[in-house]
Amino acid sequence: MLSVEDARARILEPLTPLSAEFVALDFAWGRVTARPVAARLSNPPADISAMDGYAVRACDTGPGARLAIIGAAPAGHPFTGAMSTGESVRVFTGSVMPAGSDAVLIQENASRDGDRLTVHEAVAAGRHIRRAGQDFARADIVLPAGRRLGARDIGVVAAANHAWVACHRRPIVALLATGDEVAFPGEPIPPGGIANSNTPMLAAVIRAAGGEALVLPPVADNIAAIAGSIDGLRCDMLVTIGGASVGDHDLVQAALAEHGLAVDFWKIAMRPGKPLMHGRLQRDTPVLGLPGNPVSALVCALQFLLPAIARMTGDRAEILERDSAVLAAPVGGNDQRADHLRASLTRDTAGGYVVRAFDRQDSGMLRRLADSEALILRPPHAPALPEGARVEIIRLDRFGL
């Protein structure tokens, strides 16, 4: 059976960042840049004052020196003349420095009497001036391609005077739930049936990862119906839920075969999570077949679907960030399957993570998964560990999961 890492590598290998679209700045938060962003102006655009005070010539200053105030330069209204010896101009934080000035005398170090200024303290040339381009110069690359835009990045894009940003298209990920027993929440539930938790949950995962969920209407356990439900479908990835193994009632692979399914693999050494199917349809649409068990589906979505969507969005950051934590209680040894123990998470007094695996790890317990702040990663054949041992964890809330 394939390892989690090998399976992920095979899923990611053929995926590339999607083509670009031009996104209005106001909608660009959380999107990923498709090109580097170059500054359209310098920041600051000119030498500006960093304080409220008076633009002066440093050589004119010294305790008791008297200067003429020949004007003011409030922000947005630069002083248009030039300053000579013995002159000063009132400035404010952000004011453009008048021609001829070379320093700012802060207002606390001067007294004003009409248009006369008495200096209390000498000021060095260059004092309290922010130089043009100190933050960035026109044509500087202020953000790289492949950057998921946080609020501070949006600030930089705006400061560089862009109202539109080239971002990678959001991947459209189609979700197909099959099964006679599955009813969407609020729909009539057949005898022995259940409310479909997988589709809404996975649609949320897709959104959290930066994709767009395309939810297909539910389909009964019938090869022709399943095959027909994806006629004409255009998407960047098809995710099927349930029916991926080879039991008597697992019809999805048979139905997808009519659309040219080439199966890459369908078994992986992980728990919860088996079976997972990976393959491609005609026109190279990648297919990921997630287990029908919701806990297994979510863990597989974390390990495979999130990184796949991140790759298609062009995000270059490490998506599956792990943390180190200390065990609050022992864990047993592991078999050949990578395990994902549902666990509660607290902090010790030094701020470090402490995790405790829940006693029952039944993959039927979705509510227990919702209560889990973290998954403890247990590699294949990992030995039993005592309380206090270090383990790798994944915080579920980190990904909107």
Residue numbers 104-133 binding its own copies by CB under 8 A: 130
Dmax (CA) of the chain:
97
Q: How far apart are CA 71 and CA 58, in angstroms?
A: 18
Contact assessment for residue 298 and residue 208, using Cβ atoms and an 8 Å cutoff:
no
CA 244 to chain CA centroid, Å, is 30
Q: Does 200 bind its own copies (CB under 8 A)?
A: yes
- Tell me whether residue 140 or residue 264 sits nearer to its own copies (CB atom): 140
Tokens at 233, concatenated = 């479908």
Count of residues engaged in binding its own copies, rule: CB under 8 A:
102
* Residue whose C-alpha is closest to residue 351's, from 314, 325, 370: 325
Angular region, 139: left φ>0, alpha ψ -120 to 50, beta rest:
left
* Residue whose C-alpha is closest to residue 5's, from 314, 320, 245, 395: 320
Residue 28: Cβ-neighbour burial (10 angstroms; 0-12, 13-18, 19+): buried
Q: Does 350 bind its own copies (CB under 8 A)?
A: yes
H-run or E-run covering 151: helix 151-159
Q: Does 396 bind its own copies (CB under 8 A)?
A: yes
The site map against its own copies for 205-234 (x = CB under 8 A) is x-xx------x-----x-------------
Residue 155 CA neighbour count, 13 Å, CB half = 5
User: Of 355-394, which residues contact its own copies (CB under 8 A)?
Assistant: 362, 364-370, 372, 390, 392
- Tell me whether residue 91 or residue 238 sits nearer to its own copies (CB atom): 91
- Tell me whether residue 50 or residue 233 sits nearer to its own copies (CB atom): 50
Is 255 in a helix, a strand, or coil?
helix
How many secondary structure helices (H) and strands (E) does the chain include?
A: 8, 26
Q: Does 344 bind its own copies (CB under 8 A)?
A: no
- Tell me whether residue 220 or residue 269 sits nearer to its own copies (CB atom): 220
The site map against its own copies for 242-271 (x = CB under 8 A) is -----xxx----------------------
**Beta carbon of residue 106, minimum distance to its own copies (angstroms, whole number):** 12
Q: Does 272 bind its own copies (CB under 8 A)?
A: no
- Tell me whether residue 92 or residue 265 sits nearer to its own copies (CB atom): 92
**Beta carbon of residue 59, minimum distance to its own copies (angstroms, whole number):** 25
Binding-site member from 33, 61, 88, 199 for its own copies (CB under 8 A): 199
**Beta carbon of residue 262, minimum distance to its own copies (angstroms, whole number):** 26
Q: Does 171 bind its own copies (CB under 8 A)?
A: no
Q: How far apart are CA 325 and CA 391, in angstroms?
A: 5
**Beta carbon of residue 390, minimum distance to its own copies (angstroms, whole number):** 7
Q: Does 159 bind its own copies (CB under 8 A)?
A: yes
Q: Locate tokens 């309290």: which residue?
A: 128
Distances (CA, A) of 339 to 169, 215, 360, 367: 34, 29, 13, 19
- Tell me whether residue 157 or residue 355 sits nearer to its own copies (CB atom): 157
Tokens at 124, concatenated = 């060095």
Residue type, 134: Q
Q: Does 94 bind its own copies (CB under 8 A)?
A: yes
Q: Which stretch binds its own copies (CB under 8 A): 7-15, 67-75, 120-128, 256-264?
A: 67-75
**Beta carbon of residue 140, minimum distance to its own copies (angstroms, whole number):** 8
Q: Which stretch binds its own copies (CB under 8 A): 168-176, 231-239, 318-326, 329-337?
A: 318-326
Residue 325 CA neighbour count, 13 Å, CB half = 26
- Tell me whether residue 191 or residue 386 sits nearer to its own copies (CB atom): 191
Q: Which stretch binds its own copies (CB under 8 A): 12-20, 114-122, 190-198, 233-241?
A: 190-198
- Tell me whether residue 19 or residue 349 sits nearer to its own copies (CB atom): 349
Binding-site member from 96, 173, 175, 357 for its own copies (CB under 8 A): 96
Instruction: Kindly write down the DSSP assignment for every residue of 165-179, as one continuous string.
Output: EEEEPPPEEEEEEB-
Tokens at 387, concatenated = 């309380």
Q: Does 316 bind its own copies (CB under 8 A)?
A: no
The count of other CB atoms within 10 Å of the CB of residue 225 is 14
User: Of 2-61, which residues contact its own copies (CB under 8 A)?
Assistant: 25-26, 29-30, 41, 43-46, 50, 52
Would you say the C-alpha torsion 183, 185, 188, 190 has a positive or negative sign?
Answer: positive
